[in-house]
């Protein structure tokens, strides 16, 4: 199975964001992952519209936005217009998650659900027919540098069975090391959001790292 490699741009060097995008693009990154945080749904602030605009301008690869914000349905048009190809929302943050997923589809974008470690599959089951990507958070969202929460593997196993029925792709986000890429890929996970555990700040060029991970 070909692994989908998604650099988490929150971990990139902001002083050289344009250059980082170009280097990662040439290195074989598949999707550029952008965390949007509002300081309310998660206790941190992340990237913003200006960062989406910059990244979108400097790559032809798909761009996703992970909306860790309250009432994400109010911002679908904004991020769709900025050029996001995939938009993730957290069902817990939205009073009408099915309507929000419909908005994403109506904008011609791929709809994604992000599942926190404490969110059960049973609570989002009715949304899966509307979903193109399910991103499993393997840490509590909001900060880089956390430890992988092993209990989420049970959830991943359930999703792998369900994806055969619904056709969505499973992505993993949070403390994804090279060893986790192999382990989860063998289980059936399709893609990986990579930050400091596997990609950034490693003292090697991105091309070398990404080629090794894809093997």
Q: Which among 25, 64, 173, 190 is annotated as catalytic?
A: 173
Residues 208-215, mean pLDDT to the nearest whole number:
96
pLDDT of residue 2: 75
The first and second tokens of residue 186, run together, are 């063998």
Residues 202/209, Cβ–Cβ less than 8 Å: yes
Residues 88/114, Cβ–Cβ less than 8 Å: yes
User: CA-to-CA distance for 58 and 1, rounded, in angstroms?
Assistant: 28
Q: Which among 35, 51, 94, 190 is annotated as catalytic?
A: 35
Continuous segment of H or E residues that includes residue 207: helix 206-214
- Please tell me the pTM assigned to this model: 0.97
Condensed to tens digits (0 to 9), the pLDDT of residues 136-152 reads: 999 998 777 789 999 99
Residues 27-35, mean pLDDT to the nearest whole number:
98
Residues 44/142, Cβ–Cβ less than 8 Å: yes
Task: Establish whether 35 is a catalytic residue.
Answer: yes
Residues 185/3, Cβ–Cβ less than 8 Å: yes
Task: Establish whether 173 is a catalytic residue.
Answer: yes
The strand pair at 4-7 and 32-37 is best described as unpaired
pLDDT of residue 1: 67
């Amino acid at each position: 199975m070909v692994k989908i490699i998604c650099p988490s741009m929150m971990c990139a060097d902001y002083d050289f964001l344009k250059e980082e995008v170009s280097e990662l693009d040439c290195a074989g990154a598949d999707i550029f992952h952008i965390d949007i945080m509002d300081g309310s749904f998660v206790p941190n602030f992340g990237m913003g519209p200006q960062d989406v605009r910059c990244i979108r301008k400097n790559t032809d690869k798909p761009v996703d936005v992970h909306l860790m914000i309250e009432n994400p349905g109010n911002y679908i048009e904004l991020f769709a217009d900025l050029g996001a190809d995939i938009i993730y929302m957290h069902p817990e943050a939205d009073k009408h998650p099915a309507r929000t997923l419909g908005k994403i589809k109506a904008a011609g974008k791929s709809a994604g659900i992000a599942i926190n470690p404490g969110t059960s599959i049973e609570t989002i089951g009715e949304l899966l027919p509307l979903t193109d990507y399910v991103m499993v958070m393997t840490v509590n969202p909001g900060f880089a540098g956390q430890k992988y929460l092993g209990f989420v593997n049970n959830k991943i196993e359930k999703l792998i069975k369900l994806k055969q029925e619904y056709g969505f792709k499973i992505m993993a986000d949070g403390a994804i090391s090279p060893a986790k890429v192999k382990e989860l890929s063998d289980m059936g996970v399709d893609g990986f959001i990579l930050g400091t555990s596997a990609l950034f700040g490693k003292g090697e060029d991105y091309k070398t790292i990404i080629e090794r991970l894809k093997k």
